[in-house]
């Protein structure tokens, strides 16, 4: 099911701008969303209410015609690039080709994403085209609300994620513990790397991949983005955070569980219970019309009431609840909306993570993350995974 771009058309009309323009490769979520096309090198997508036009290299032309959602696909040869190169050199030739591509469609003004390439913008401006940055993030907001097809894609990726988490948890649960507390598997220390390998191999079975994943135990877990390395240990909290992407659809999912092999100490158990409470409090706040700021505040309150620092109470704290409560997920891993102090209103159909956590190098780290679909009255939790802390 195709996304409905009419809000974008309305926005262009409101602002008196002819077209929305993207210059990016297929890894760029805006590009993938608008063009439906995945290519390793940057290309142009020009959206007008009349239709979508792509400008791709000669090499990608055939594939773009077949695979993209564009109404028209063009290439530099259509604008006589070779002659322009001979007359003006490659850089100016490319500028003229882009300008001609737009002129061909009577486009004199374009709205572009914030991260549109500066040189392309300067080149268009030099050729008399007005380039305006989409500071309202209209396209980002549009793709934050998922179609039923997109929601299914995310469910599928999440299903793969749960299989991978299960494979990781099973390794932990089956591990032996040697005399100094190190986890042992197949006669050698069970490492973060071994668990990550299991995660990635499982994801591959389900057509998903990722660049890096987090399996961080003990002190390592106290840094929320620490990916983890080396042997894992009993009686420590081990954070496993997996954010895979389906290789075919491009849609992500995201989930975190924290495990302890053997008995956690009292502080870790207390932190785990608090984090579950913060997660539930944040989830309770989720519904269309609530703001990301509300949801984040609900999580912060639980921690603050227990006397733990958050960025609200201390902006430079390095311990406690030291990140936002969550983010949108889709073609990009971090999308609208944000569950942070600046988070705007939630809309039904958005997909968000809710992921409170506590961190302190003297204690370790705890994080529990679910992924949910915002609904009119609340949310649909699409994370089908238990919240057990102690395993093995």
What's the CA gap between 254 and 370, in Å, rounded?
Answer: 8
Residue 301 makes CB contacts below 8 A (sequence gap 6+) with 281
Toward a second copy, which CB reaches closer, 60 or 156? 60
Toward a second copy, which CB reaches closer, 6 or 212? 212
**Token pair for 240:** 């496993």
Strands 379-381 and 109-112: unpaired
Among residues 8, 107, 121, 129, the one that binds a second copy under rule CB under 8 A: 121
If one asks whether residue 225 binds a second copy (CB under 8 A), the answer comes out as yes
- Give residue 377's region: left, alpha or beta (phi > 0; psi -120 to 50): alpha
CB 229 within 8 A of CB 192: yes
Among residues 2, 128, 316, 386, the one that binds a second copy under rule CB under 8 A: 316
Among residues 10, 13, 90, 178, the one that binds a second copy under rule CB under 8 A: 90
Toward a second copy, which CB reaches closer, 8 or 124? 124
- How far apart are CB 211 and a second copy at their closest, in Å? 6
Toward a second copy, which CB reaches closer, 311 or 385? 311
If one asks whether residue 122 binds a second copy (CB under 8 A), the answer comes out as yes
If one asks whether residue 387 binds a second copy (CB under 8 A), the answer comes out as no
Among residues 131, 167, 174, 348, the one that binds a second copy under rule CB under 8 A: 131
356 to 385, contacts with a second copy by CB under 8 A? none
Toward a second copy, which CB reaches closer, 124 or 286? 124
CB 149 within 8 A of CB 128: no
Could you say which DSSP state residue 139 is in? Answer: H
- How far apart are CB 85 and a second copy at their closest, in Å? 7
170 to 209, contacts with a second copy by CB under 8 A? 197, 200-201, 204, 209
If one asks whether residue 135 binds a second copy (CB under 8 A), the answer comes out as yes
If one asks whether residue 133 binds a second copy (CB under 8 A), the answer comes out as yes
- How far apart are CB 342 and a second copy at their closest, in Å? 5
CB 116 within 8 A of CB 22: yes
If one asks whether residue 219 binds a second copy (CB under 8 A), the answer comes out as no
What's the CA gap between 207 and 247, in Å, rounded?
Answer: 6
**Residue 94 C-alpha from the chain's centroid:** 32
If one asks whether residue 163 binds a second copy (CB under 8 A), the answer comes out as no
**Token pair for 229:** 């390395």
Among residues 9, 85, 151, 174, the one that binds a second copy under rule CB under 8 A: 85
CA dihedral 94, 95, 101, 104 (to 10 degrees): -130
Count residues contacting a second copy (CB under 8 A)? 54
From the list 146-154, 161-169, 318-326, 380-388, the region that binds a second copy by CB under 8 A is: 318-326
What's the CA gap between 254 and 241, in Å, rounded?
Answer: 7
Toward a second copy, which CB reaches closer, 120 or 261? 120
What's the CA gap between 258 and 356, in Å, rounded?
Answer: 12
Question: What is the C-alpha radius of gyration for the chain, rounded to an integer number of angstroms?
Answer: 24
Give, in degrees to the nearest 5, the angle at Cα 333 between 330 and 339.
Answer: 90
What's the CA gap between 73 and 96, in Å, rounded?
Answer: 18
If one asks whether residue 72 binds a second copy (CB under 8 A), the answer comes out as no
CB 16 within 8 A of CB 108: no
If one asks whether residue 386 binds a second copy (CB under 8 A), the answer comes out as no
If one asks whether residue 247 binds a second copy (CB under 8 A), the answer comes out as yes
What's the CA gap between 194 and 167, in Å, rounded?
Answer: 11
Among residues 7, 9, 42, 152, the one that binds a second copy under rule CB under 8 A: 42
95 to 114, contacts with a second copy by CB under 8 A? 112, 114
What's the CA gap between 131 and 4, in Å, rounded?
Answer: 24
What's the CA gap between 367 and 369, in Å, rounded?
Answer: 7
User: Footprint of a second copy on this chain (CB under 8 A)?
Assistant: 27, 38-42, 58-63, 77, 81-82, 85, 90-91, 112, 114-122, 131, 133, 135, 197, 200-201, 204, 209-212, 223-226, 247, 311, 315-316, 318, 322-323, 333-334, 341-342
């Amino acid at each position: 099911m195709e996304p409905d771009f009419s809000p974008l058309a309305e926005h262009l009309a409101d602002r008196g701008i002819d077209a929305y323009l993207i210059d990016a490769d297929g890894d760029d979520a805006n590009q993938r969303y608008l063009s439906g096309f995945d290519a390793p090198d940057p290309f142009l997508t020009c959206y007008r209410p009349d239709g979508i036009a792509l400008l791709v290299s000669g090499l990608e032309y055939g594939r773009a015609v077949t695979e993209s959602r564009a109404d028209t696909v063009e290439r530099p040869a259509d604008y006589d690039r070779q002659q322009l190169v001979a007359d003006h050199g490659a850089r100016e030739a490319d500028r003229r080709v882009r300008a001609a591509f737009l002129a061909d469609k009577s486009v004199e003004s374009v709205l572009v994403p914030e991260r549109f390439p500066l040189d392309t913008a300067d080149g268009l401006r030099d050729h008399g085209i007005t380039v305006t940055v989409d500071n309202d993030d209209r396209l980002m907001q549009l793709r934050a609300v998922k179609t039923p097809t997109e929601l299914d894609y995310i469910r599928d990726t999440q299903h793969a994620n749960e299989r991978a988490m299960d494979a990781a948890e099973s390794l932990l649960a089956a591990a032996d513990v040697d005399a100094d507390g190190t986890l042992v598997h197949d006669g050698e220390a069970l490492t973060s790397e071994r668990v990550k390998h299991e995660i990635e191999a499982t994801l591959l079975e389900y057509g998903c991949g990722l660049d890096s994943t987090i399996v961080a135990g003990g002190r390592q877990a106290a840094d929320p983005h620490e990916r983890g390395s080396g042997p894992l240990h009993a009686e420590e909290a081990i954070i496993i955070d997996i954010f895979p992407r389906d290789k075919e659809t491009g849609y992500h999912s995201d989930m975190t569980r924290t495990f302890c092999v053997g008995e956690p100490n009292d502080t870790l158990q207390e932190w785990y219970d608090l984090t579950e409470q913060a997660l539930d409090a944040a989830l309770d706040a989720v519904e269309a019309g609530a703001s990301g700021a509300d949801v984040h505040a609900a999580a912060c309150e639980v921690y603050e009431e227990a006397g733990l620092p958050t960025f609200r109470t201390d902006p430079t704290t390095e311990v406690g609840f030291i990140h936002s409560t969550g983010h949108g997920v889709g073609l990009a891993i971090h999308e609208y909306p944000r569950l942070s102090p600046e988070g705007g209103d939630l809309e039904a159909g958005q997909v968000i993570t809710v992921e409170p956590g506590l961190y302190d190098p003297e204690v370790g780290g705890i994080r529990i993350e679910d992924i949910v679909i915002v609904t009119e009255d609340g949310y649909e939790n699409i994370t089908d995974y238990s919240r057990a802390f102690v395993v093995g």
